[in-house]
């Protein structure tokens, strides 16, 4: 009996040791390029695995430096109840009941003119958890295991001075996708040093990533999959319109190696005097526009691929540089440290954008490296690929 007990104890200790060893192996992979260079997240904090949605919520929001590991799905759907109230059928929903997207009346969107002419008031019922993201404090690394780390029904919000955050290898999905204003996957507003890497976003009601009006400062968005395939489309074509919104105050944003597919607009919408470097991304099957460059934004797009994108650049009310030339090469080299790389187009419209005066704003900053345009992001971006 003593021998059997000793064997059982040894076996349990071996299992515990294996688990501890596996958890010790959890770590952020790689380092951020571009503007968020130097982001450390939880730093050397031991990685911990939350056992419940409640524990995850607490660890994300506290003031302790943490490495938080998602090794399973954390489902927040239904956790805060549902709401039935007046919303609207916006002018954009020309296929009600057949794949259109209605709207929640957040920020009086349905009644302040943004929903368009001929808007109809309707009752909407939505999951309350989806409309407000989980609060994330400073000095956090949030990492997924393989393709197991899923946040369902709730996104993340980094705001009000929180900074130094890494979000890597998780899938955020099902935020009231049937409704405009149904929820944002990742919200940044009043932060600094955020690295968003190798994640997947799907079935989101509104923005997959949104940088609000407050300063988000230095941000790198890299190797993510923005999956716009949906059954509720603002453009009635199975593609998500509200994808990436970069209109913060004087933000520095690097977008590198992302795979952005089956969207129909705002991929990204830029503005707010942001400085944006979009490099080596792959846009695919966009039925509307990729870039919509608003007043104040300064955008360099190089080494990207636009495949089956109807309108790569909808309008340019700011500053936009979308293609090198003999005259521009010297300006690129002087301010970015490399000669700018040509974008590639297949069955797509043209990009345009020849402004170069703003390139001097990049000088002395952490600028991401660039390689020749390639469709590689389609196979390297997203969860389970690091």
Instruction: Look up the pTM and report it.
Output: 0.94
Q: Characterise 112 by phi-psi region: left (phi > 0), alpha (psi -120 to 50), beta (else).
A: alpha
Q: What is the CATH code of the structural domain delimited by 127-380?
A: 2.160.20.10
CA distance 317 to 298: 10
Cβ atoms < 10 Å from Cβ of 178: 19
Q: Are 178 and 156 in contact (CB under 8 A)?
A: no
Q: Are 267 and 243 in contact (CB under 8 A)?
A: yes
Domain boundaries, the chain: 127-380
DSSP line for 316-351: ESSEEE----HHHHHHHHHHHSS-----EEES----
Residue closest to 305 by CA, chosen among 372, 370, 360, 386: 372
Active site residue 266: yes
**Digits of tens for pLDDT over the chain (386 positions)?**
444 444 444 444 444 444 444 455 799 999 999 999 999 999 999 999 999 999 999 999 999 999 999 999 999 999 999 999 999 999 999 999 999 999 999 999 999 999 999 899 999 999 999 999 999 999 999 999 999 999 999 999 999 999 999 999 999 999 999 999 999 999 999 999 999 999 999 999 999 999 988 899 999 999 999 999 999 999 999 999 999 999 999 899 999 999 999 999 999 999 999 999 999 999 999 999 999 999 999 999 999 999 999 999 999 999 999 988 878 999 999 999 999 999 999 999 999 899 999 999 999 999 999 999 999 999 999 999 99
| Catalytic residue chosen out of the listed positions 66, 89, 239, 266 | 266
Cβ atoms < 10 Å from Cβ of 340: 25
């Amino acid at each position: 009996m003593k021998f059997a007990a000793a064997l059982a104890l040894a076996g349990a200790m071996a299992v515990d040791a294996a688990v501890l060893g596996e958890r010790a192996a959890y770590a952020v992979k790689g380092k951020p390029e571009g503007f968020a260079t130097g982001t450390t997240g939880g730093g050397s904090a031991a990685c911990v695995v939350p056992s419940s949605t409640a524990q995850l919520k607490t660890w994300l929001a506290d003031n302790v430096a943490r490495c938080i590991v998602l090794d399973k799905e954390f489902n927040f759907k239904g956790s805060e109840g549902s709401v039935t109230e007046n919303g609207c059928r916006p002018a954009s929903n020309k296929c009600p009941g057949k794949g259109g997207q209605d709207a929640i009346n957040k920020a009086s969107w349905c009644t302040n003119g943004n929903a368009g002419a001929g808007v109809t008031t309707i009752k909407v019922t939505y999951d309350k958890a989806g409309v407000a993201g989980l609060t994330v404090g400073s000095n956090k690394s949030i990492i997924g295991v393989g393709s197991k780390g899923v946040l369902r029904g709730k996104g993340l919000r980094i705001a009000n001075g929180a900074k130094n955050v890494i979000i890597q290898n998780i899938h955020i999905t099902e935020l009231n996708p049937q409704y405009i204003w149904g929820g944002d996957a990742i919200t940044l507003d009043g932060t600094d040093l955020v690295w968003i890497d190798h994640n997947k976003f799907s079935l989101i009601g509104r923005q997959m990533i949104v940088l609000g009006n407050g300063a988000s400062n230095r941000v790198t968005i890299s190797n993510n999959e923005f999956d716009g395939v949906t059954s509720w489309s603002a453009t009635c074509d199975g593609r998500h319109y509200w994808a990436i919104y970069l209109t913060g105050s004087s933000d520095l944003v690097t977008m590198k190696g992302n795979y952005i597919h089956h969207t129909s607009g705002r991929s990204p919408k830029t503005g707010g005097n942001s400085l944006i470097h979009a490099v080596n991304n792959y846009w695919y099957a966009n039925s509307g526009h990729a870039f919509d460059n608003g007043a104040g934004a300064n955008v360099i797009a190089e080494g990207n691929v636009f495949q089956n994108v109807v309108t790569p650049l909808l309008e340019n009310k700011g500053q936009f540089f979308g293609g090198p030339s003999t005259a521009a090469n010297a300006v690129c080299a002087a301010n970015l440290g490399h000669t700018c790389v040509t974008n590639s187009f297949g069955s797509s419209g043209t990009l345009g954008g020849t402004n170069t005066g703003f390139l001097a704003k990049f000088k002395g900053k952490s600028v991401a490296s660039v390689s020749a345009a390639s469709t590689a992001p389609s196979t390297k971006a997203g969860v389970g690929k690091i």
